[in-house]
Amino acid sequence: AQSVTQPDIHITVSEGASLELRCNYSYGATPYLFWYVQSPGQGLQLLLKYFSGDTLVQGIKGFEAEFKRSQSSFNLRKPSVHWSDAAEYFCAVDPNQAGTALIFGKGTTLSVSS
């Protein structure tokens, strides 16, 4: 079945430590790929996106993500987490590459400990 999977429901990271959030997708062709962040009371904000080309993409707030076709993955990383990064993170795909419906994963909640 076509799906977007975020295996980790909740992750806790110490401030200053590195972060990796996992995302796997199951679609026949490589979809457009996105990471969004949602803070309490805030709308979803786009962190970064992948359409084609360089498989390592840079985003806002120091985040990056790497597309791995062989693993159908698009994992989000940050070398040093700040307390303000605590939020919910969603991986999303545009399976039709049409700028229409996005399919979201269930999200990963990130907590940052001091």
Partner 1 sequence: DTGVSQDPRHKITKRGQNVTFRCDPISEHNRLYWYRQTLGQGPEFLTYFQNEAQLEKSRLLSDRFSAERPKGSFSTLEIQRTEQGDSAMYLCASSLGGQEAEAFFGQGTRLTVV
Binding site for partner 1 (CB under 8 A): 4, 32, 36, 41-46, 49, 51, 90, 92, 97-107
CB of 42 to partner 1, least distance (A): 7
Q: Which is nearer to partner 1, 13 or 23 (CB)?
A: 23
Contact 48, 57 (CB under 8 A): yes
CB of 46 to partner 1, least distance (A): 6
Q: Which is nearer to partner 1, 29 or 70 (CB)?
A: 29
CB of 114 to partner 1, least distance (A): 26
Q: Which is nearer to partner 1, 85 or 108 (CB)?
A: 108
* φ and ψ at residue 78, rounded to 5 degrees: -150, 130
